[in-house]
Structures are given as structure tokens and as C-alpha cells.
Chains A and B, each alone.
Chain A
Amino acid sequence: NAGVTQTPKFRVLKTGQSMTLLCAQDMNHEYMYWYRQDPGMGLRLIHYSVGEGTTAKGEVPDGYNVSRLKKQNFLLGLESAAPSQTSVYFCASSQPRGAYEQYFGPGTRLTVT
């Protein structure tokens, strides 16, 4: 099993450009999440999904959109990138039982100039 994978691993954007980050999981997990990690801070939840076709806002959703058309994939979009969105982005997935342990992808480092 590959677990949770993210594409791409690195990206540089100019202000105003758009892009989509792809997250894929092969563990048949129902729940998926997008986080951002900034220096000196813990992870902050951007959006999450509790199942195929559903999405919901997390703590810091502004400037991002998501889609979950297939159970195994969770896409994060930036329509008009801003320097404040420079960060490391993590995708995670979990099953809706027990401790709901989250399993993470390797992260995407995004720089917006």
C-alpha cells in the first residue's frame, strides 16, 4: 500500500496564478483532510471531507476550494494564489471509528512569489 500520496511535492507560483493539489489514498478511508503548516505553528485545517461528494470548511478555508469526486481522491485548489498562501500543505485520511487516527501524506511545499 502506498498510503497517502500527494502531487506535486514542490511548486512555485506567481501571485494570481491558480493550481490544484492532488491527494490520493489507497486505504479506503472515508474521511480526508487538507492542512497547512507554517513555521512555528501546528497544523491548521483548511477543508475536510467525510465522504465522496461531501466537503466542509475547516479553520482557515478562505482562498481555497476542494472537491471529492472519488472516495480515494481529495483535491485542493487555489484559484488566485497569494504570498500568504506560501506554506507546506498536508493531506490526511482516517476511518470514522475509534480514535479516527489520521494518516498523512508527505506534504507539498508551495511558494507564491
Chain B
Amino acid sequence: AQTVTQSQPEMSVQEAETVTLSCTYDTSESDYYLFWYKQPPSRQMILVIRQEAYKQQNATENRFSVNFQKAAKSFSLKISDSQLGDAAMYFCAYRSAYSNYQLIWGAGTKLIIKP
């Protein structure tokens, strides 16, 4: 069975600096999708970025980018120029390309932004 591990329960960063959140996963499959979701204090779960395993190029969305290392089964999220509004829980999630519904979730990392 697939598992997703976020080893950092909490991270903090100074405003305007860069922070990287870690995510590792375990799978025997070759085709899958990876996601980062953000959950601010409002509770709303917001999709930040996604990565298709068959794509070698790392996904980027404005200040958010990933470092996808397929062989190492690692999927870290880099947030550049951190802003106060980035403070939230961040969840990493995995979906097999052979499943039409199942998302496997990590336990989350709480990101604190210091002004």
C-alpha cells in the first residue's frame, strides 16, 4: 500500500525568505500524481500545485515550486518570498494513476511566517 510521509510537523520562516517543506512517499507504481494542498486557518483546503510522475520537469506556480525526485520518491515544496498569507497547514497527497478516487494524504506540516 502507498504511504505519504511529511517528517516536519512544523516549520517557520522569516517573511520574504524561502522555505522548503518535505514529502516522501512509498509506492511500487510508476504512474501517479502528487499534490500539495494548503489549509489556512479558515479550514478551506486549497490546491497549491500538482505534479505528474511521467513529467520530468518540476511544476511551478508563481512563488511555489516543487523538487520532484522520482527515484528517491521525494516531492518537496519550495515557497519563495514567503508572505504572511502563506501561513497554513500544508498537506502532501498521492494518487495512483490506476485509482480513480483514492488520495493518500500525509499528516501535514504547519508553516509559521515570522514578520
Contact = CB atoms under 8 A, between A and B. Distances in A.
Interface of A: 31, 33, 40-45, 48, 50, 56, 58, 88, 90, 92, 96, 99-104, 106-107, 109
Interface size bucket, B side? Answer: 20 to 34
Given A42-B91, A107-B44, A31 B100 contact: yes
17 contacts: A42-B106, A42-B107, A44-B105, A50-B101, A56-B101, A58-B102, A96-B100, A99-B50, A99-B95, A100-B33, A100-B95, A100-B100, A101-B47, A101-B50, A104-B44, A107-B44, A109-B43
Nearest to B50: A99
Per CB-CB distance, the 8 closest pairs between chain A and chain B, nearest first, are A42-B105, A104-B45, A107-B43, A99-B33, A43-B105, A48-B101, A106-B44, A99-B50
B68 interface: no
Contacts, number: 57
Interface of B: 4, 33, 35, 37, 42-47, 50, 52, 91, 93, 95, 100-108
B104 to A, nearest CB: 8
Contact of B45 (A40, A90, A100): A90
Q: Is chain B's binding surface mostly helix, strand, loop or mixed?
A: strand
Q: Which of B43, B46, B95, B108 has the most CB of A within 10 A?
A: B43
Given A43-B91, A88-B43, 5 more contacts: A31-B100, A40-B107, A41-B107, A42-B4, A58-B102
A41 B108 CA distance: 7
A36 to B, nearest CB: 11
Contacts of B45: 43, 90, 92, 104, 107
